[in-house]
Structure 1
Amino acid sequence: KPRFNVLLRDDKSFPYILIRRDHEAPQIKKYRGSKMDQGDYFGPFASAGSVMRTLDTLQKAFLLRTCEDSVYSVRTRPCMLHQIKRCAAPCVGLIETEDYQALADQAADFLRGKGADLQKRLAADMEAAADDMEFERAARLRDRIRALAHVRASQDVNPEDIEEADVFAIEMDGGVSCVQVFFIRAGQNWGATAHYPRHEREQTPEEVLSAFLVQFYDKRPPPKLILVNKLPDQAELIADALELKAGRKVEVRRPERGSKKDLVTQAARNAGEALSRKLAETASQTRLLAEVAKVFELETPPERIEIYDNSHIQGTNAVGGMVVAGPEGFIKNAYRKFNIKDTSIEPGDDYGMMREVMRRRFSRALKEREEGNG
């Protein structure tokens, strides 16, 4: 158990890319949560944005469908994605099943880090198509090669040296910390994310990182290699625990030289820059809250500000929204949406909708306070 408590606020699971294998025309999609569906999972990615950028490239390159089975089964003509060359339209038979499955296999090979070999095969196929005067097919292969080259240029790390790893770097200033995480899978950088764990001011970087790693992998599978810029307290114990969780060897290492050291140094540089931005934003927010206290004649600056608004579509689909701000800026994981349930409220009655939102919000707050959770 860590000596100090460190609160990792962003505890949601990271997204994956899933190529489903339970359908004759495999679907490619973003996936988050337990791995229940049959298929090939690739990840984790640092963010939904990283996944969507990669999916966008894979659609351009391999023309795989993203539609759900319920939509696929009722198609009678190609959809817009086929028209803009993002889908091969297996739903209406514009590609043979075997050929479509070959595209799915190529996409999986690319995500497994076999992009260089795949590009060579596609280049050979393009030349053969040109020799046979199949110029339209050659053009499609050319576009596929270009799309893959673009994403490989932005994601390659060192496929021969680092196959699978998570990279952690912590920087600390004035009792505030930033942990930068790189995800390396199949020799490719699948994005980075920054975390700002809450902890006691007297904690050292090694203590914070130790507690952070324990929480980070609580519900996530660890990779074979974990690289760090500060060797965490109880590093061997953490590695042993992760080995039990993964059922295989897991190494926690602070590299001293080579490409692994370069990668950790880059992560530390990113962490320092992110921390500087965070501290600047916090200082600005502190000044703003001090002004709010002055204008409203408050004894102290507010710790939490909630902002509410309503919306509807010509009197239907009424919802209320709440956003929250505090000393560190907007607190996105505290945002809430309220579906208006009171059928007696007249369409477009903003006051009635706001009354329901306020009642539900503060009824819940009072209940949480009584239970000792608020």
Structure 2
Amino acid sequence: MTDLSSEQAPKKGHEVIQSYLRTLDSSPGVYRMLDEQARVLYVGKARNLHARVSSYARPTGHTPRIARMIRETASMMFLSTATETEALLLEQNLIKQLKPRYNVLLRDDKSFPNILVTKDHAFPQIRKHRGAKKDKGAYYGPFASAGAVNRTLNQLQKVFLLRNCTDSTFESRTRPCLLYQIKRCSGPCVGLISEEDYAASVRDAERFLSGRSTEVQEKLKQQMHDAADAMEFERAAALRDRIKALTQVQTAQGINPRTVTEADIVALHLEKGQACVQVFFIRAGQNWGNRDFYPRVDAEMEEAEVLEAFLGQFHDGKEPPRQVILSHPIENTDLMAQALSDKRGRKVEILTPRRGEKAELVDAALRNARESLARRMAETATQARLLRGLAEAFELPAPPQRIEVYDNSHIQGANAVGAMIVAGPEGLMKNSYRKFNIRGDDLTPGDDFGMMKEVLTRRFKRLLKEHPDREGGQWPDLLLIDGGAGQVGAVAGIMAELGVEDIPVVGVAKGVDREHGKEEFHRPGRRPKALPHNDPVLYFIQRLRDEAHRFAIGTHRAKRGKAVGATPLDEVPGVGAARKRALLSHFGSAKAVSRANLADLKAVDGVSEALAERIYAFFHDRA
């Protein structure tokens, strides 16, 4: 790629855009429009950079949104690419990275879970997997949500009786676990099923996950009839229950298309400047769940622009399916199909059906999008009223756009963590939640003031460093603290030390009886205040405080659980999870590993001579 960026011109608007035309040719590429502070306003792609930029250089003929964007443009940057497809991919990467104000922006970009059937064990495990596909095995998905995976796994365990325990648990069992007792596992850990029979169950599970469910059902029915003919009625009844569970999986999926085997059904509904995109995941001829997305859009945007931007960002980092079926056509169908095909390594079709089963699937997704957006708009209106009420109750200059709520959790000072949750006009902003491992070695165990000081100091020092101009929506308009006058006074002192005294602080105390509904609210230099028992703002604050407490407790438990499972082996360089399991399985305990001689360490599968020497030296040097 060639960087064609030029020096910032002194003018703004279409005149500054006009000044760049002489440096541009007709090659494809990506352009960025920047304001006077060099913040990116917009990222776009072009088949012909010169032609596209010249369209912005005209003083008239633009929509109000584009006209505003042009007026704010003080400079531009350009990157030429070899192909237009490459420009499309680069554009989407830059949008996700820079989050420009005038682009469609997909705000929910969580990874999607899969089902993993492991392949590195004689008795494979079936489990949920999220993230990079590094483990050896067969992956089936994506599923729309963890709930969709869990429901499917729950029924698959009933049908195929595959284990979901970890390898270390499997190796250490001496008798069947509860899952065997409730007929969710065939008990391979204690030899209650042969390796061959278990492998046959694994193959059946993979057939089902590959869309060959009819074949699996017919096989189970035949086995049931054979068992009944042989008067093995208990086995026949067990097979009957497995067939019933398999039918329940298919029934629970709701939509199971006949003519679509692998597709994303993508439907968009726009209303009053807001958008909802509903995606149905069809894999192996089965519905593997649906999820709604609410991309940031402008009221003047049309369906084609929103859907095209959504597709590029949605499939970034995800393998596209064979077909992408849309509710509305997009402008650059061929270009998007080529980009998705390049990502997949096989042909991807983009369709906008008007009749038949595909159109029925789109109608179902579109109905869901319409209903989801209506619910969200109602919730947003309620949230706006609550924020206005909060501003009135505590005399804030305006309804807060970002509320940060802080809490600590520990047991007598051990495994101490701080937690921050965030709420705004659209409710809880879970992507902005943060946890803080308390580092202060000089803190007295249980010193809540000291913990809060560490958390707030770390939080606001980072804000001062990364967002000193307080732009970008990262600075809070209100701090809620779980505590009374003492905590509020301590927080006010901390904020004064950091030079950010202008952020309102409210402490939420339980009141004299420590009951819900009798909370007292403390502010620096003010008398305590109570809200009416049935005030919606009171309930709102209670929910925020309870959510912060839930997040803090969960974070503390996770840290405590990790500490319980920790061993000295975690500190040995080169010993990861797999080698740790091998060492513990071979010796029985970390203490036995620490006492082992060099020859015994070298005898462990997967432990090289160099690693054995490192482990031996680690423990003997420590001694």
Which stretch of the first structure deviates more once superposed, 79-88 or 324-333?
79-88
**Given the alignment of the two structures, is residue 100 of structure 1 paired with residue 198 of structure 2, yes or no?**
yes
Alpha-carbon contact 1:62-1:144 (below 8 Å) kept: yes
CA distance in 2, matches of 1:354, 1:369: 22
CA distance in 2, matches of 1:290, 1:248: 52
What is the aligned partner in structure 1 of residue 139 from structure 2? 41
TM-score (norm 2): 0.58
**Given the alignment of the two structures, is residue 305 of structure 1 paired with residue 403 of structure 2, yes or no?**
yes
1:108-257 superposed matches below 5 A? 108-155=206-253, 157-257=255-355
Q: What's the CA shift for 1:363?
A: 2.0
- Secondary structure of the structure 1 residue equivalent to 2:320: coil
**Given the alignment of the two structures, is residue 20 of structure 1 paired with residue 83 of structure 2, yes or no?**
no
**Given the alignment of the two structures, is residue 288 of structure 1 paired with residue 386 of structure 2, yes or no?**
yes
Alpha-carbon contact 1:160-1:187 (below 8 Å) kept: yes
CA distance in 1, matches of 2:188, 2:414: 38
What is the aligned partner in structure 1 of residue 570 from structure 2? none
Q: What's the CA shift for 1:38?
A: 2.0
What is the aligned partner in structure 2 of residue 319 from structure 1? 417
Q: What's the CA shift for 1:315?
A: 3.7
What is the aligned partner in structure 2 of residue 333 from structure 1? 431
Which stretch of the first structure deviates more once superposed, 109-118 or 269-278?
109-118
Q: Percent identity?
A: 57
**Given the alignment of the two structures, is residue 30 of structure 1 paired with residue 135 of structure 2, yes or no?**
no
**Given the alignment of the two structures, is residue 68 of structure 1 paired with residue 166 of structure 2, yes or no?**
yes
**RMSD of Structure 2 on Structure 1 (CA):** 1.7
- Secondary structure of the structure 2 residue equivalent to 1:199: coil
Which stretch of the first structure deviates more once superposed, 149-158 or 34-43?
149-158
CA distance in 2, matches of 1:219, 1:271: 24
CA distance in 2, matches of 1:314, 1:64: 42
- Secondary structure of the structure 1 residue equivalent to 2:172: coil
What is the aligned partner in structure 2 of residue 343 from structure 1? 441
Alpha-carbon contact 2:320-2:340 (below 8 Å) kept: yes
What is the aligned partner in structure 1 of residue 548 from structure 2? none
- Secondary structure of the structure 2 residue equivalent to 1:152: helix
Q: What's the CA shift for 1:156?
A: 5.9
What is the aligned partner in structure 2 of residue 356 from structure 1? 454
Q: What's the CA shift for 1:207?
A: 0.5
Q: What's the CA shift for 1:158?
A: 4.6
Letter in 1 for 2:197: D
Alpha-carbon contact 2:257-2:357 (below 8 Å) kept: no
Deviations for 1:283-317, whole angstroms, at most 9, x for unmatched residues?
Answer: 11111111111122222111100111112234422
Name which of 360, 363, 368 aligns with 2:466: 368
TM-score (norm 1): 0.96
Q: What's the CA shift for 1:159?
A: 4.8
**Given the alignment of the two structures, is residue 87 of structure 1 paired with residue 185 of structure 2, yes or no?**
yes
Alpha-carbon contact 1:322-1:335 (below 8 Å) kept: yes
Q: What's the CA shift for 1:370?
A: 4.8
What is the aligned partner in structure 2 of residue 260 from structure 1? 358
Which stretch of the first structure deviates more once superposed, 143-152 or 35-44?
35-44
Letter in 2 for 1:8: L
Query: Which structure is richer in relative contact order (CA contacts within 8 A, separation 6 or more)?
Result: 1
Letter in 2 for 1:342: G
Count of residue pairs brought into register by the alignment:
374
Deviations for 1:244-301, whole angstroms, at most 9, x for unmatched residues?
Answer: 1112111111101011000000000000000000100111111111111112222211
